[in-house]
Structure 1
Amino acid sequence: MRVSSSVLAAGFAASALAAPGAQRRSCNKSSASSALASAATSAPATSAAVIASPTSSSAALASPSSASSSVASVAASSSLAAASSSSSSSSVTSNAASANGSLLFLGASESGAEFGTAIPGAYGTDYTFPDTTAIQTLMDMGMNMFRIPFLMERIAQGTMTATLQADYLANLTTVVKYVTDAGKYAVLDPHNYARYDGSIISSTADFKTFWTNLATEFADNSNVVFDCNNEPHDMSTATQTAELMQACVDGVRAAGATTQYIFVEGTSYTGAWTWTTSGNSENMGNITDTVDNLLAYEMHQYLDSDGSGTSETCVSTTIGAERIADATTWLRDNNKVGIIGEFAGGANADCETAIEGMLAYMKDNSDVWLGALWWGAGPWWGDYMYSMEPSAGAGYTAYKSILAKYAPA
């Protein structure tokens, strides 16, 4: 979801402001901040069918003590053929699902805890946590991975190195435990755009400490995945994003979390289609991990004209596979594996064909692609164009049968 950390989507029923790419790239920080801040001053619009209240029994979430507590195969073009697994002699030592030609992971982002501009904000007013009843419906559809966005400023208040805030952590843990107790995977996603309190994170030491603190809480749960930070962009130096990702990896492993995947994201909003032109191909390949085969490169890909995810229109019926072709080649050439951590398309025939083509392409190249996670689900999306929230979300209604075909075997 590409908005700057200071203009994070407000916790209200979906609108243009709540879109995953709202204000991305062309963001006017001050005007966007004002609009979002204004929208965040009122309680989110409710839909009884989808919204979990702070005391919802389905989620069994702890209410904070106060406001301050806190996925028709596409005809292969020459460029796609060049990137296909049959065209490369490189061998990838990884946990990617090349053995049976299927994806390891299929899932969705479960929004709510990252909503709102108020820090720390009030649970139930400024932000919420995912509805586990809806998560169960998506599990029953075949999804096995759920990315849970949250804000660093709410879980580590005042400074990145602060003791984790008990109520917010407890609510996050409840959702994580629901997912992992079912044998599925929960992805912890600090949805911060490599910012903290509105400023680019400059201290790798502090960032490492943040991750050690958080990973310590989940070190014994092998079904937890650590997503270092959502969509870094407009960084101070060319290498800054890679340096922060390395600090994250080091911090997680220092916590004793050695059986879990870590997902690292690149700069330029970690776009797959710009991976080889944005500096990521030069700077991200040298990230190291002390654990073998558990580091993956998370990329995001939308199919509208500017790749921002702000339109229901897709460029063509083949654009999905086309936009990830160069990244596929990079992964294979560099013996890496990747995952599409955000993707979506509008509820129309062109997008549906493009999305299915992308997933078919990923399945054909599952030696380097672990899977894909839809953006987004969550109880406060309302009539948002990509909503994967059962049972009335536009994305859920249009794409549930397509996604189910690519569920892990």
Structure 2
Amino acid sequence: MKHSALLASLVSSASATIYYAGVAESGGEFGVWSADATPGTGLPGAFGVDYKFIDEAGIDVHVDQNHLNLFRIAFLLERMAPVATGLGKTFNETHFDYFKEAVDYVTVTKGAYAILDPHNYMRYNDPSSQPYSGSVIGNTSDPTAATTAQFGEFWGELAGRFADNEKVIFGLMNEPHDMATELVLQNNQAAIDAIRAAGASNLIIMPGNSWTGGHAWAEGSDPSSAIMHQFTDPLNNTAIDIHEYLDVDYSGSHSECVSDPATNLAAVTSWLKEHNLKAFITEFGGHNNTGCDDMLTNFIKYMDENDEYIGWTAWAAGPFWGSASPCCTDSQSFGSFEPGSKAVDGGPSLYDTVWLKVLQPLVPEKLQWSGVASVTGGELADFPA
């Protein structure tokens, strides 16, 4: 009995496997916000002036020096599929070429993996005041809304263009919220069906409702936990996309970290285990203070110790953040996870104080560097010199 108990203890405490680790690249969704919520603001915008997907020098540092193998690259639906022609398979080809150039740099030139991130909150036609502006995709009571079928058409077209790149991961949508969970599931399913019909076997990651927050997964009268597992994928290569911030309201807008990940992720982790599903946490972050240092460390270790989690991207890096901070600042500007960024006073940025000090030491020494991205992962290896 003692031997069995000891064996069980060793098994339960064994580290799980993280195959993919990196940062969210925020910048491709920039340039549209309008104080008076004017529709069409910044569309399509000037590439390199109003918005930009990545900075190649920053990617170089994160891959070559920090040995990260995953980048989540944000874009806007309204730029890729212009409002004039509607959501679907008609693309702005100039814009798509800029986006593909960024994805190819990450995946082909640098050999890392890329998550395609339509940063639209399950809305389309007016990103001027995100995350609330625009019509909810699939809302049949809104005559201005794009349909679920159009969402599928869009993903079928995009997936077909990247089907031959095994290092591309399809993130279906950033943070759906304030809508029926059944509609989130329907839209997700339409996208999955279209992706597979396009001949793309790539890994898919799909969100839940309520900003796809892990802490909220099983909460409320219409929780993601009730139905989100009902999706189907003929290739069984779909994981769950989860976001989780550590501040008081889970928004990432306060500098104090007070929401314990082990407590707040317990329900979604149990749900993943119950339904034999894997997950990525593609947004999380923290500020430069002792409480956040400890909680971010615990956050990464929680994912390490629960094999439901196979990858993560911290929020955020990106070419346009400069001295502005994308996470946890209480309106102060301390830079981002973009290499070379500085605080507004010219001092160290969150790249120096949080990424290098706290998160970088927790990046696994071995990650997947070759082969198709999948829910089962691939061969783990040291960074290829």
TM-score (norm 1): 0.72
Distance 1:405 1:326 in 2: 28
SS state at 2:296 partner? helix
| Residue 178 of structure 1: how far off its partner (Å) | 1.0
Distance 2:262 2:324 in 1: 24
Q: Superposition pairs for residues 203-242 of structure 1, below 5 Å? A: 203-235=147-179, 237-242=180-185
- What residue in structure 2 maps to residue 63 of structure 1? none
Q: Superposition pairs for residues 274-293 of structure 1, below 5 Å? A: 274-278=216-220, 279-292=223-236
Distance 1:176 1:85, change over 3 A: farther
Q: Deviations over 1:94-135 (max 9, x none)?
A: xxxx8x733111111111111121221222332122101101
- What residue in structure 2 maps to residue 382 of structure 1? 322
Q: Deviations over 1:142-190 (max 9, x none)?
A: 2111000100010111201142111111111111111111221111000
Distance 1:154 1:392 in 2: 27
Q: Deviations over 1:259-295 (max 9, x none)?
A: x110100111000011111410012110110112x21
Distance 2:291 2:228 in 1: 33
| Residue 346 of structure 1: how far off its partner (Å) | 0.6
- 8 Å CA contact 2:53–2:75 kept in 1: the answer is no
- What residue in structure 1 maps to residue 352 of structure 2? 397
Distance 1:162 1:213 in 2: 5
SS state at 2:23 partner? strand
- What residue in structure 2 maps to residue 325 of structure 1? 266
Given residue 361 of structure 1, which amino acid in structure 2 is its aligned partner? Y
% identity of equivalent residues? 40
- What residue in structure 2 maps to residue 115 of structure 1? 30
SS state at 2:30 partner? coil
Distance 1:384 1:315 in 2: 23
What is the number of equivalent residue pairs in this alignment? 309
- What residue in structure 2 maps to residue 102 of structure 1? 17
- 8 Å CA contact 1:191–1:230 kept in 2: the answer is yes
- What residue in structure 1 maps to residue 82 of structure 2? 157
Q: Superposition pairs for residues 65-76 of structure 1, below 5 Å? A: none
- Whether 1:272 aligns to 2:221 is no
- What residue in structure 2 maps to residue 131 of structure 1? 55
Where relative contact order (Cα < 8 A, 6+ residues apart) is larger, the structure is 1
Q: Superposition pairs for residues 234-313 of structure 1, below 5 Å? A: 234-235=178-179, 237-258=180-201, 260-278=202-220, 279-292=223-236, 294-313=237-256
2:303 paired residue among 362, 375, 380 = 362
Distance 1:124 1:299 in 2: 30
- 8 Å CA contact 2:296–2:359 kept in 1: the answer is no
- What residue in structure 2 maps to residue 200 of structure 1? 136
| Residue 370 of structure 1: how far off its partner (Å) | 0.8
- 8 Å CA contact 1:103–1:407 kept in 2: the answer is no
Given residue 160 of structure 1, which amino acid in structure 2 is its aligned partner? L
- 8 Å CA contact 1:246–1:288 kept in 2: the answer is yes
- Whether 1:185 aligns to 2:100 is no
- 8 Å CA contact 1:194–1:200 kept in 2: the answer is yes
Root-mean-square deviation (CA, aligned residues, Å) is 1.8
Given residue 380 of structure 1, which amino acid in structure 2 is its aligned partner? F
- 8 Å CA contact 1:184–1:223 kept in 2: the answer is yes
Distance 1:238 1:378 in 2: 31
Q: Deviations over 1:3-57 (max 9, x none)?
A: xxxxxxxxxxxxxxxxxxxxxxxxxxxxxxxxxxxxxxxxxxxxxxxxxxxxxxx
TM-score (norm 2): 0.77
Distance 1:162 1:102, change over 3 A: closer
| Residue 391 of structure 1: how far off its partner (Å) | 2.4
Given residue 193 of structure 1, which amino acid in structure 2 is its aligned partner? Y
SS state at 2:258 partner? coil
- 8 Å CA contact 2:24–2:317 kept in 1: the answer is yes
SS state at 1:257 partner? coil
Unaligned runs of at least 5 residues, structure 2 = 1-9, 33-41, 126-133, 139-146, 328-335, 343-348, 367-385
Given residue 205 of structure 2, which amino acid in structure 1 is its aligned partner? F
2:70 paired residue among 141, 145, 167 = 145
Distance 1:85 1:338, change over 3 A: farther
Distance 1:375 1:383 in 2: 15
